[in-house]
Amino acid sequence: MTNPLYDRLFGANAHRETPFLHLADGTTITHATFDRTSARYAHALAAAGARAGDRVALQVAKSPEALAIVAACARAGLIVLPLNPAYTAAETEYFVSDSGARLFVTDPARREEMTAAAGAATLLTLGAQGDGTLAEAAADRPETFETVPRGADDLAAFLYTSGTTGRSKGAMLSQGNLLSNAETLAEHWRFTEDDVLLHALPIFHTHGLFVAMNVTLVAGGAMIFLPKFDAGAMLDHMPHATAMMGVPTFYTRLLDDACFDRNVAGHMRLFVSGSAPLLAETHRRFEARTGHRILERYGMTETNMNTSNPYDGDRRAGTVGLPLSGVELRIMERDAPVAPGETGTIEVRGPNVFQGYWNMPEKTAEELGPDGWFKTGDLGTQDADGYVTIVGRAKDLVISGGYNVYPKEIEDLLDAQPGVLESAVIGVPHADFGEAPVALLVPQPNETPDLDAIGDALGAGLARYKHPARLLVVDELPRNTMGKVRKAALRATYAQLLRQS
């Protein structure tokens, strides 16, 4: 029996002395060197008591060693649980306890702080410079490791959802889920061994870990592996890269730098954006500045990627493209498909769809049907050509006076107004209508939006029940680590707004 995830991603590259990781300090790590490192870590994890099927919670800084632990988990048949290093001890304790992790790896500087959070798990440490107890345990281990046999249906990762409503859910992803998506994306986005991916994403999230890394490995390519996004560093390294994956904030910050132009981006063949909606205005500015059209795609924790704009063909700003090969997608309303262009809940089915939520059979049954269709909770439309547009989250839908109000429709109109950089529309409790939309506007730099003019534009473009009850100018919108606007936080902040007016 083989181990499909390890064999395809890591084993296939194990003897290649070609670059895999180009680090910020100029160091290069080859595929073969990386494989030998992961073997040492696999031995260290096994020596610490981890056996096939056990969970390894990994809350560490981005580093080559952190990636090597992910590879080690794959080859040892362990289930990796990547955690945001920004989580507090109280937050972390839930994930470690709920997952039943056998091992918990954290930063050496947080060892004392995280002792209680580890609970029954064995606590190990790993620092950004390759220090810590786990690194020490791996240092003198053999550079080969007998890969543990696993099947495509065996679990490879737990990814916990953000938990904005209720407690976080652990999405169980199998080897087949991760591998099928990586192979599909590498083919769709034309990745080859000649590609060098500019990687500035975090690796506790599916975007930076299971999309960026896995696609690169499937192709046998390399990554310029930066610890975090820094516009200056991105500009320095971009002439040596061929592709970049990022969140919308990456692209807006690049555009804010006057040095970013066609010459800097001249060696690039592909820019991909995801994890949060990309403004159509950003698309247009980026193309005008560089000649490149950003490729936007759509995925989520439970499925990795579902859709993508085409590599060759019409990349339509404001859409997330077409369903990927092997992925079925439908737009549903009350258990029936809607007509093209109509809004409904997005459901997907395919080899990328997760196995369910850890220890939550009722929640799994509610969202993942026995026929394999997963209810994403996202609202969207699909036009006659098959292009999908995300309207918003179902939980963000505003029901005002019995009418459905889709925030994205209002936000698109607001974002097009003079002086408005971006907007967010939320539902706020209202005595007469149950709730009513309220719009938060972030102004363009050094500009002041004309709220009266914007109100007139809304009156001309939207039915009365869709008009925001209030327009508020704010300095910025709260976002999570992947750039998504935290609408739950906004709703909490402004919950009393209309009751006070």
Rg of the chain over Cα atoms, rounded to whole angstroms, equals 23
pLDDT mean over 257-267: 94
Phi, psi at 371, each rounded to 5°: -85, 5
pLDDT of res. 165: 45
Query: With contact defined as beta carbons under 8 Å apart, do 166 and 302 qualify?
Result: no
Phi, psi at 381, each rounded to 5°: -130, 160
Write the pLDDT tens digit of every residue in 26-48: 999 999 999 999 999 999 999 99
In the predicted structure, residue 168 carries a pLDDT above the cut 90: no
Write the pLDDT tens digit of every residue in 399-432: 887 677 878 889 989 999 999 999 999 988 887 6
User: What is the reported pTM?
Assistant: 0.85
For 166-170, 241-245, 317-321, which range has the lowest pLDDT when averaged over its residues?
166-170
The CATH 3.30.300.30 domain(s) of the chain lie at: 397-500
Write the pLDDT tens digit of every residue in 309-336: 999 999 998 899 999 999 999 999 988 9
Query: With contact defined as beta carbons under 8 Å apart, do 138 and 44 qualify?
Result: yes
SS3 103: strand
Beta bridge mates, 356: none
Cα 117 to the chain's mean position, in Å? 25
In the predicted structure, residue 497 carries a pLDDT above the cut 50: yes
- Could you say which of 3.40.50.11540, 3.40.50.2300, 3.30.300.30, 3.40.630.30 is the CATH number of the domain covering 397-500? 3.30.300.30
pLDDT mean over 183-204: 97
The CATH 3.40.50.12780 domain(s) of the chain lie at: 4-188, 229-393
Q: What is the CATH number of domain 229-393?
A: 3.40.50.12780
- 166 confidence band (pLDDT: 50, 70, 90): low
Integer Cα distance of 213 and 469 in angstroms:
45
Residue matched to tokens 């193309």: 287
Beta bridge mates, 374: 348, 368
Q: How confident is the prediction for the chain on average, in pLDDT? A: 92
The conformational region for residue 454 under phi > 0 = left, psi -120 to 50 = alpha, else beta, is: alpha
Structurally, at CATH architecture level, domain 4-188 sits in 3-Layer(aba) Sandwich (3.40)
